Amino acid sequence: MCPRCRTSRPAQQKLSITGWAFAGGAVLFLAALGMWAARLDRGTRENQAAATVEPVADGTLQPGPPLPVTFGREHCRSWFVSGSGERPRKLPPLLLLTSRVADPYGLVAAGFTSECGPQPVLVLEDLQPGTLAEAGEKARLAVAVGTAAVQLLRRQLPALPLFYAAVPDPQEKGLDGEKLAGVSPWIPAAPMVRHWLAVLPRGAVALFHSSGALDELAGAVKRQLHRAGREVIDVALPAGADIAGLSGDLDGKAKSWAVLVDRRIVDDETFNRLQVAAEEKKIPLAVSDEEHVRNGALVGVGADSHRIGRQLCRLAAAWQAGRLPAGSHVFCPEYSFAVVHQAVAEKLGYLIDFSKVAQVKVYRWH
């Protein structure tokens, strides 16, 4: 050891080695950071490119026949009324009544005003005595969002033509008539299956549905799956169904399960047992709505609320021009999207390329 040195040569060598190790680690870190930044930039560009793609409309340019939906015995008609390309003419004075319960973010009302121009918007929960009657004196038609808003308008202003959205069962409530038209919140079979198959793995699909009320929709879904080349295993759900027994019979046969959810028949308990069985068996679960994706399904379908508002504007304009078709006036949403639960996908070990799933809404929490 050098008597005038404070550090021995071995110690100096250790410091030198440590320094090189730190330097090498810093280089690796910077390289990894560069790769991550490049991947992030590529993903951002892909997302921006996807955002510029105009969504595909579900409806047809000519009004179609009534189609079954996931709410028992309800139907909607496919009609892409916005496809005419003509901007609506100025509508007569109208009354727009929305609700924070049915449209908490005001998307339907915003969609209506973006298409039909600025309108005074009344909020059901903020109504003062006499406000609705005063607005009704000037109005020539009414627009309502949510069941409570519809019921109030029909009770207080029954003579006004009424256009509505966010009512789960409009036909059962008597909202399908000459001066009544609305947009169903439910998605019919063709777009539903299209969104499912963008996410589900290849192979047979076990289709769970209640007997009776949803037989018509189940038949339509099976036809769509067959057209896509999928084998379908039909599973009727009787009251108090033995989920363990039913799911055990599917072992090795179905690559995915799909459930037509009608809350009055497939209740929360039945769905929860199905969801738990699917999770235990590592089987992807598809559902016919958005809400049950939040409850643990992999993929479902939803409707674009803002575009529903724009569709209501077009329907009101069609009524003013005398172009509403004969027959049912309950129409399917013009645009729908897939709803995917990313946490469920990760549990299943799926890596979904969302840039290839058109029109998708992603839940990232469990």
Per-residue HEC secondary structure of the chain comes to CCCCCCCCHHHHHHHHHHHHHHHHHHHHHHHHHHHHHHHHHHHHHHHHHHHCCCCCCCCCCCCCCEEECCCCCCEEECCCHHHHCCCCCCCCCEEEEECCCCCCCCHHHHHHHHHHCCCCEEEHHHCCCCHHHHHHHHCCEEEEECHHHHHHHHHHCCCCCEEEECCCCCCCCCCCCCCEEEECCCCCHHHHHHHHHCCCCCCCEEEEEECCCCHHHHHHHHHHHHHCCCCEEEEEECCCCCHHHHHHCCCCCCCEEEECCCCCCCCHHHHHHHHHHHHHCCCCEEECCCHHHHCCCCEEEEECHHHHHHHHHHHHHHHHCCCCCCCCCEECCCCEEEEEEHHHHHHHCCCCCHHHCCCEEEECCC
- The tokens 């406000």 sit on which residue? 131
pLDDT at 7: 46
Q: What is the pLDDT of residues 114-130, one digit of tens each?
A: 999 998 899 999 999 99
Mean pLDDT across 275-301: 94
Q: Provide the CB-side half-sphere exposure for 84 (13 A, CA).
A: 15
Candidate ranges 52-61, 84-93, 152-161; pick with highest mean pLDDT: 152-161
- The Cα–Cα gap between 131 and 147 comes to 19
Residue of higher predicted confidence among 265 and 72: 72
**Of 329, 363, 321, whose CA–CA distance to 345 is shortest?**
363
Of 77-81, 270-274, 287-291, 362-366, the poorest mean pLDDT is in: 362-366
**Which band of pLDDT confidence, cut at 50, 70 and 90, is reported for residue 31?**
low
Task: Assign 266 a pLDDT band (cuts: 50, 70, 90).
Answer: low
- Per-residue model confidence as pLDDT tens digits over 223-236: 999 999 999 999 98
Residue corresponding to tokens 């015995």 = 73
- All structural domains of the chain with their residue ranges: 66-185+304-335, 189-302+338-363
The values of phi and psi at residue 162, to 5°, are: -125, 130
The span from the CA of 339 to the CA of 329, in Å, is 27
Predicted pLDDT of residue 308: 97
Looking at residue 337, its pLDDT comes to 95
The answer, yes or no, to whether residue 263 has pLDDT greater than 90, is: no
Tell me which CATH code domain 189-302+338-363 carries. Answer: 3.40.50.2300
CATH C-level class of 66-185+304-335: alpha beta
Whether 66-185+304-335 shares its CATH topology with 189-302+338-363 is answered yes
pTM for the whole structure: 0.82
Exposure b/e, 316-355, CB count within 10 A at least 16 = b: bbbbbeeebeeebbbbbbbbbbbbbbbebbeebeeebebe
